[in-house]
């Protein structure tokens, strides 16, 4: 009778990594981190299962291993389709595990595992969710584990203060959430900036310009928008070099930033094209543009429109763009 051929462990491991490698392009940052969060706890539970300790419940740990295996596999299986609400569901399930572990803890190791997950959840929430959603979710998590820890029937049986450990976990979790949120906000703001001129790029303009239009339409305050294009910018590059062209972009955009109101917007949308957003009516914005153009070292043209109550951001830009080329055509014909 022929014996069944078994692949060497090295080959099985190689195939496993190959499968994981094929999954990688299908993942988003959110799905990858969500899976890694559950996988870290899966590894911890697996170590507990094989190492063991006093008052160890092997059957219970085996069930938790299966629980975390499902939590880790779900984001990987869904990949980029893994939605934010499922991340919050995963958080709720992890909260249940932490509260259960704290309430039924028969060894300090169980309590430490449950408390250590809270700061990690703080980072996860602060990075991936809006700040008030993240804060509310973390507060609910901390309330649940606090109740489980304080109401535990054998709360005085460990050789350290559970109350102090819980307080540390709460403070560190809150710090982790706020730090992650601040770092994310800073990275997002940086991604909205043009690296050459340090004004907004197209992404920042769409975000802040859309907000400005929505605010103006709800309050009735005037808002004007200009599309600006350098005159003969190709000639500057061809005759004086690209370094001079870059300097022209930096100098003129800095002049706009200094000459506009603090809450107005300046954005580079590509090449030598810019968009300016004014929190004032069309007449005041045109006078401001004329003063800036007269004081500028380089020549540029603009198309200016007042944002109407029915305009979307893209529609306002399109109308200003049409006005810009109409102005250039009149100048050539005139």
Residue 16 has pLDDT above 60, yes or no: no
Of 16-30, 164-178, 279-293, least confident by mean pLDDT is 16-30
* Section 164-188 average pLDDT: 91
Residue 327 has pLDDT above 60, yes or no: yes
Tokens of residue 293, six digits: 């153009």
* Section 302-319 average pLDDT: 91
Summarised one tens digit per residue, pLDDT across range 50-89 is 876 666 677 888 899 999 999 999 999 999 999 999 999 9
Half-sphere exposure of 185 (CA within 13 A, CB side): 10
- Cα four-point dihedral sign 259, 217, 205, 181: positive
Residue 1 has pLDDT above 80, yes or no: no
H or E element that contains 241: none
- Report the alpha-carbon distance of residue 284 to residue 25 in Å, rounded: 51
User: Which pLDDT does position 279 carry in this prediction?
Assistant: 95
More reliable by pLDDT, 116 or 9: 116
Q: Where are the domains of the chain?
A: 20-191, 202-333
Q: Give residue 99's pLDDT band: very low, low, confident or very high (50, 70, 90).
A: very high
* Percent of the chain predicted with pLDDT > 90: 58
Summarised one tens digit per residue, pLDDT across range 218-266 is 898 999 999 999 988 888 887 888 899 899 999 999 999 999 999 999 9
Q: How high is the mean pLDDT of the chain?
A: 87
Pairs from 42-47 (Cβ < 8 Å, separation ≥ 24): 42/68, 42/69, 42/71, 42/72, 44/113
- Report the alpha-carbon distance of residue 236 to residue 268 in Å, rounded: 18
**CATH class of the region 202-333:** alpha beta
Of 142-151, 230-239, 298-307, least confident by mean pLDDT is 230-239
pTM score = 0.68
Tokens of residue 232, six digits: 């003969």
- Report the alpha-carbon distance of residue 100 to residue 90 in Å, rounded: 15
User: Which pLDDT does position 14 carry in this prediction?
Assistant: 64
């Amino acid at each position: 009778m022929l014996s069944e051929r078994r692949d060497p462990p090295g080959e099985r491991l190689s195939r496993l990594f190959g499968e994981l490698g094929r999954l990688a392009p299908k993942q988003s940052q959110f799905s990858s981190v969500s899976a890694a969060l559950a996988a870290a706890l899966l590894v911890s539970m697996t170590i507990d299962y094989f190492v063991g300790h006093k008052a160890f419940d092997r059957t219970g740990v085996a069930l938790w291993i299966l629980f975390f295996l499902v939590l880790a596999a779900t984001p990987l299986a869904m990949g980029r389709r893994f939605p934010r609400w499922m991340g919050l569901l995963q958080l709720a399930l992890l909260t249940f595990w932490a509260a259960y572990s704290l309430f039924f803890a028969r060894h300090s190791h169980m309590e430490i595992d449950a408390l250590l997950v809270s700061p990690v959840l703080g980072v996860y929430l602060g990075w991936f969710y809006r700040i008030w959603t993240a804060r509310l979710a973390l507060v609910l998590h901390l309330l649940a584990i606090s109740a489980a820890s304080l109401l535990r029937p054998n709360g005085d049986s460990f050789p350290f203060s559970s109350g102090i450990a819980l307080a540390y976990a709460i403070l560190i979790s809150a710090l982790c959430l706020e730090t992650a949120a601040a770092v994310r906000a800073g990275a997002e703001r940086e991604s909205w900036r043009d690296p050459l001129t340090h004004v907004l790029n197209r992404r920042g303009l769409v975000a802040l310009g859309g907000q400005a239009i929505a605010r103006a339409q709800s309050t009735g305050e005037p808002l004007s928008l200009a599309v600006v294009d350098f005159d003969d910018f190709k000639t500057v590059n061809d005759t004086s070099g690209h370094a001079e062209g870059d300097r022209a972009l930096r100098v003129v955009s800095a002049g706009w930033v200094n000459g506009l109101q603090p809450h107005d917007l300046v954005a580079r949308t590509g090449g030598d094209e810019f968009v300016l957003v004014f929190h004032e009516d069309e007449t005041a914005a045109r006078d401001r543009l004329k003063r800036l153009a007269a004081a500028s070292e380089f020549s540029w043209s603009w198309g200016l429109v007042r944002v109407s109550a029915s305009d979307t951001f893209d529609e306002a830009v399109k109308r200003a763009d049409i006005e810009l080329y109409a102005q250039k055509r009149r100048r050539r014909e005139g």
